[in-house]
Chains A and B, each alone.
Chain A
């Protein structure tokens, strides 16, 4: 892992991963969309609204998955002073926030026709809304410090503290009464969805994950280059100051 603490080496690895991730995302999302919208059957209870699941569930899983990745990267940055881990966490946040927003929005658009309401303040919905705010807070914290090392540290601590929310989201449907249905994909007994819906759903989940990886590569690359530029400007400013002092 320390091999990839060198940004140049990390960028080489990222460049090798990028085409695979991008092609996987395009193929699985394309197939998943056609399958989910056109060929998967309507649900016997929910009719065609069940098609919202093909976006809602992958978005929800990735909103949580990206956060777990962010927390692990933050821990890695804090403990081992890994030079790229903090940038991976920083680059992940907007992607996780977008997934989380999509999850909330599609949930609302699914809730209205099926539950009769856009929103309820129950444990599942509220804890996902909190996740969204944690993403926003994390991004704001990075902007709040001039000193990037301090910003990275503060943001990493927030990411770790906020990780408590993840198991709360996962188990909220079991711990509290809620309108939200319980898990049907990741359960102790395995998936309880019929294969006609399970396959397109799995494709969409893989697609969302590959999309995340693709966007992540671009965003980390941007962060590495932005940091280099900042570094060069600081050096130039130092040189300038030294020259003025010498005169």
Chain B
């Protein structure tokens, strides 16, 4: 185990590489999921607030 962590003497280089890559990719994933949820909630809330007559053309309401 110690030998594994030691990485033939290159531990700082190897573990920093893996650590930062993991941190960045996990961070980006979490931020993307949160942003998608927040944006979905907001647009659905706004849609519900829209006056009734404007919602007639539903189904093709994507711009």
Interface assignment of A219: CB less than 8 Å from any CB of chain B: yes
Q: Is the CB of B8 within 8 A of A42?
A: yes
Chain B 3-28 interface 0/1 with A at a Cβ cutoff of 8 Å (1 = within): 01001111001101110110011001
Q: Is the CB of A219 within 8 A of B14?
A: no
Task: Identify the interface centre among B8, B38, B49, B50: most chain A CB within 10 Å of its CB.
Answer: B8
With contacts A38-B4, A211-B25 taken as known, whether A106 is within 8 angstroms of B17 at the C-beta atoms is: yes
Interface assignment of B2: CB less than 8 Å from any CB of chain A: no
With contacts A98-B28, A112-B13, A218-B35 taken as known, whether A228 is within 8 angstroms of B43 at the C-beta atoms is: yes
Task: Identify the interface centre among B9, B13, B44: most chain A CB within 10 Å of its CB.
Answer: B13
Total number of B residues with any Cβ neighbor in A under 8 Å: 34
Q: Please report whether the interface of chain A is mostly helix, strand, loop or mixed according to DSSP.
A: helix
- Closest chain-B Cβ to A206's Cβ sits at a distance in Å of 15
CA–CA, A59 and B20, complex, Å: 12
Q: Is the CB of B17 within 8 A of A105?
A: yes
A-B contact pairs, 19 of them (CB 8 A): A47-B9, A48-B7, A48-B8, A48-B14, A49-B10, A49-B13, A52-B14, A94-B28, A95-B28, A106-B20, A110-B13, A211-B25, A215-B32, A218-B32, A219-B32, A226-B39, A232-B47, A233-B46, A235-B54
